A and B are shown apart, each in its own frame.
Chain A
Amino acid sequence: MSPTSAALGGSWTHSFEEDEAGVQVYRPTHSFAFPPSRRGRETLEFGNEGELAMGAPGPDDRPRPQARATALGMNRYRVSGTAAQPGQVIEIVEATPEVLKLRFV
């Protein structure tokens, strides 16, 4: 196991205020004090089997399931897509108990 994989579990919420160039920053959904935001926040939910459920704010402003991603290995996930629009690949570039950073490959 890679040193970062231990943190790949639980629920993470997009702390977009902290985004860096090309990198999205996520914080633990239930313990981080997110500032109020009209823009809803994307979520990541890691399952026990390595699967990843992605949520995004819906038309009623509450998070709703948006896509699922399958683990490719090496901290990479392919987001579900369609034949016409193949899913993107994301890579977790940093994962600690306090922060998770990812980028689209």
Chain B
Amino acid sequence: MKSKKSKEQGPTEEETTMPGATMTGSEEAQHANGKVRDASDVMSATDDSSGMPGGLTAAPESEGGTDMPGADGGGMSAGGANGAGDGGSSGDGGQPRSRTCATMDVHRRLLSQRPDYVRARAAIETHALAYERGERSALRTGVTRIPVVVHVVWNTASQNISDAQIASQIDVLNRDFRRTNPDVASTPAVFLPLATDARVEFFLATVSPNGTPTNGIERRQTTVTSFSSNDAVKSQATGGLDAWDANHYLNIWVCQLGGGLLGYAQFPGGSAATDGVVILQSAFGITGTAAAPFDLGRTATHEIGHWLNLNHIWGDDGTGCTGTDNVADTPNQGGPNAGTPAFPHVSCSNGPNGDLFMNYMDYVDDRAMFMFTAGQVARMQACLDGPRVAIGLGAGAPRPSSSPVVAWDANRLDVFVVGTDRALYHKWWNGTAWGPSVTGYEAMGGVCTSAPQVVAWGPQRLDVFVTGTNSALFHKWWNGSAWGPAVTGYESLGGICVGDPRIVSWDPNRLDVFVLGTNRALFHKWWNGSAWGPSVNGYESLGGVCVGQPEIVSWGPNRLDVFVVGTDRALYHKWWDGTRWGPSLTGYERLGGVCMSAPRAVAWGANRLDVFVVGTDGALYHKWWDGSAWGPSLNGYERMGGVCVGDPEAVAWGPNRLDLFVIGTDSGLYHKWWNGAAWGPSLTGYEAMGGTCTSSPRVVAWGANRLDVFVTGTDSALYHKWWNGSAWGPSLTGYEGLGGVITTFRRRREMIEPSIPAMQPDLTLTMGALRA
């Protein structure tokens, strides 16, 4: 592919318009060169019907949990197996640390950070206030699960706290932030109604920032006998341990602290290098070195409250009555309480009930604090929707299903295509440059009969799936340091597959693979971290007779939602709830409609699904699951206009945000979006983005307000454009040329018809045969 591009490709500039400008007629050239048409000219030519055509008429089956027509099971077979290895790493060392004044260090740091920090804090407070006033509500509807790394920095052996002590702290957090701590019952009756589930859980990270497995605990012996609040513990160079990526992990440092300090936090909006909380080793967890009266793990609960933007309950104004914690449902309170106060303790005329001293954000002993209020939870959720929007959206959070384009980290892109030799090719953006070059590709062998489908279950991790000429499924993976089983080799996973495989990963080291068999039933296999189920070559039959490609999405751990189109072209749905398939192993929920494209589904939050299909009139249609019901109705769809060619693409870069991309009848790219309140540019309108596209668009969002769009042009090369949060690059209608001659990226195909050839037994050259 790399060698062919020089003689076959026109565009060589890094930024260019789509190839249609040079390869085809002047009409397209005009368009591609930025003569932006009104979106409605192209997309809305036939927009005047309402309701999805045929949506209520093509229903031979009963509604609800019905079997799809012609469901049948069957084995899929053939292939070999392989395995992979991985490594870890650790650091150590220490050096003398010159004693400096902690207060002055803090002062200097605050001064140096002040302009940015003050601005960031002001924006965060404005955002939080809207939640506190009820003007905005939390976008994360379920429980946010936050991966935690505990950095144990010890000087004497006793400070090297045990894994059990760490686990006991995580358990405390999971009780306190879910209001399942038994002592919540000790809240005075008048305050008990305020005690609220914060809907946050914590778990020790299972994947390190470099993609290797981890237990979420780092340890280092240091020469520093005790740390102060100057953040030295947060840096390897000053005797501590460096922070892990604060966008994806909660950093907790556990060490000896001087001056009687129990712990301290960093509010959101500060430096990522020092983000997290620091806890005195003898105030961490409930066992081991934990010492009364700070031996119930509440120091971490309190500090993580700060980390989620909670203020002290008395308002940090000394003992005055003018300070506020910016939370409405907490009583005005003079100064901090200490020890184990008796109820009521009145201050600031807050009788008869007095201070909410049993709140986690007061200064009482561990055994005297046991609740967050609803207002505090709103403030924490505002933080999770705002400055900490990415946290908890990694492992265990909604995951898009596989695509030829993935991002395993911010500002990281991996793109997989099939070349004219049907081999797999790969290129990547590492944050600063395209590798192996702007227009070059890494050859990865194989003879592919499907578009490559890739998922990334963690940083530095890629799992690539294709079908071979024997229609079996093949797999390869990047483990952070090498390709397995080899750069050009593949693991055979058996089966006889029709169309592209689809994969989703709902947890690190977890893969769920879905393919259609020759009987067009849906088949499933999974990697549980140690083995393929039901076997390396085996598949679980999920019934149905499917037209087109299945779509999979996971909105949470151990949750799968599968969408397929049936032979009546209605949309069908089934789900895995952690214990069983719904409505049954081989049954499907009928969702109506007459679908002319494969469905595209996204989950922007827990228990939220948005599904998009193209109807018989070429318009885009939308339906959604809001956690309790399908909207606009079980069988109904919201009509979104346009005349779409091929499959739509949908991504969500944040809660309650959707971006949709389709190809119009002029082969141009079109975009529309949901901003949480309304569709832009309008319900049925589209933003025209130029180009002459020969593939359906593939889009990935590696961060909030970031979009990267990939299509192929008429020269079969790959083209890229991006939204950087404020503008489209290289321009609204321009594209960056990425070279190559691509035969299969994402086919702009019609629906796969029932007459599709089942297999090609005469072709014996398989992917496995090419294994290095």
Q: Does A97 contact B (CB under 8 A)?
A: no
**CB distance A38 to B280 under 8 Å?**
no
Which of A29, A34, A45, A61 is the one whose CB lies under 8 Å from B265?
A: A61
Q: Does B338 contact A (CB under 8 A)?
A: yes
Q: Does A60 contact B (CB under 8 A)?
A: yes
Within 8 A of B (CB), among A39-67: 39-41, 43, 45, 53, 55, 58-65
Given contacts A61-B306, A62-B106, A64-B107, A38 and B299 within 8 Å (CB-CB): yes
**CB distance A36 to B260 under 8 Å?**
yes
CA distance A30 to B102 in the complex (A): 10
CA distance A34 to B260 in the complex (A): 5
Q: Does A3 contact B (CB under 8 A)?
A: no
Within 8 A of B (CB), among A51-105: 53, 55, 58-65
B residues near A59, Cβ cutoff 8 Å: 267, 306, 311-312, 316
Given contacts A36-B294, A41-B259, A65-B106, A60 and B363 within 8 Å (CB-CB): no
Given contacts A13-B259, A60-B267, A65-B107, A38 and B363 within 8 Å (CB-CB): yes
CA distance A41 to B266 in the complex (A): 18
B627 to chain A, nearest CB (A): 35
Q: Does B99 contact A (CB under 8 A)?
A: yes
Within 8 A of A (CB), among B268-325: 280, 282-283, 291, 294, 299, 302-303, 306, 311-312, 316
**CB distance A38 to B365 under 8 Å?**
yes
B residues near A40, Cβ cutoff 8 Å: 261
**CB distance A62 to B264 under 8 Å?**
yes
Q: Does A37 contact B (CB under 8 A)?
A: yes
A65 to chain B, nearest CB (A): 5
B residues near A55, Cβ cutoff 8 Å: 103
Given contacts A41-B260, A62-B261, A64-B106, A30 and B99 within 8 Å (CB-CB): yes
Q: Does B94 contact A (CB under 8 A)?
A: no
Q: Which of A34, A37, A61 is the most central at the interface, judged by chain B CB atoms within 10 Å of its CB?
A: A61
**CB distance A60 to B266 under 8 Å?**
yes
A45 to chain B, nearest CB (A): 6
Q: Which of B110, B261, B316 is the most central at the interface, judged by chain A CB atoms within 10 Å of its CB?
A: B261
Q: Does B262 contact A (CB under 8 A)?
A: yes
Q: Does B656 contact A (CB under 8 A)?
A: no
A34 to chain B, nearest CB (A): 3
Interface pairs (19), CB distance under 8 Å: A29-B258, A30-B258, A34-B259, A36-B282, A36-B291, A37-B260, A37-B262, A38-B294, A38-B302, A41-B260, A58-B316, A60-B266, A61-B265, A62-B102, A62-B264, A63-B102, A63-B103, A64-B103, A65-B104
Chain B contacts to A: CB under 8 angstroms: 99, 101-104, 106-107, 110, 229, 258-267, 280, 282-283, 291, 294, 299, 302-303, 306, 311-312, 316, 336, 338, 363-365
Beyond the given A36-B294, A62-B102, please list 17 additional residue pairs across the A-B interface where CB-CB is below 8 A. Answer: A13-B259, A29-B259, A36-B261, A36-B262, A36-B280, A38-B299, A38-B363, A41-B259, A41-B261, A53-B104, A61-B303, A62-B264, A62-B265, A63-B103, A63-B106, A64-B107, A65-B107
